[in-house]
Amino acid sequence: MSDESQKKGEFIEPPNFLKMKVGTGGFDKQTIKEAETAVQALGQKMYEQWADKDLGRMREVFDELRKTSLDDPNGVQAMLRICWDMKGLGGTFGFPLVSEITHFLSNYLEHCLNNQDARISSAVVQPHIDALYVVLSQKIAGDGGAIGRELVRGLETVVLKTGARIGGRG
């Protein structure tokens, strides 16, 4: 064998400039965990206030729609925005029932907006608003147990009967 074939490759490690700037410190994992717990607790308390306010706005918009026209696209869009806000934060702060209820309601409202033949019905919207009120006023966290699951099944059935789709179902 020649000298050339016996040489081994040389590995060159480039300098890590970011590590040089940051150093070797880092964050204490316990401190991070405590901060996350504090943020979650504060967020949950704040979410309850936000959700109550959102539900109040939803009721106002729906009352206005009932007085004028249930199918007013601007009013329906306003309700949709409220649904999306509540849906997005509900699961994050321990209220997955709020997220599910608003998911069903938003799918129904979108269905009505996007289908010329579909009309908004109080018989579909009002039970969702009532369910949100119960969940929030009773501070029902988690899935609500057997009663929560039954409530969700009932609302889902009502929405599916309208022709709206829910997450691929319907």
The per-residue pLDDT for 17 is 80
The per-residue pLDDT for 26 is 66
Output the domain CATH number for residue 64.
1.20.120.160
Instruction: Assess if residue 36 is contained within a domain.
Output: yes
Is there a contact between 154 and 124 (Cβ–Cβ < 8 Å)? no
- 141 burial via Cβ count (<10 Å: 0-12, 13-18, 19+): middle
Instruction: Assess if residue 13 is contained within a domain.
Output: no
The pTM (predicted TM-score) of the whole model is 0.76
The per-residue pLDDT for 170 is 46
Instruction: Assess if residue 7 is contained within a domain.
Output: no
Question: Mean pLDDT in each 10-residue stretch from start to end of the chain (170 residues)?
Answer: 65 80 72 84 82 96 95 95 92 89 95 92 96 92 88 93 76
Instruction: Assess if residue 87 is contained within a domain.
Output: yes
The per-residue pLDDT for 83 is 95
Classified as helix, coil or strand, 140 is coil
The per-residue pLDDT for 11 is 81
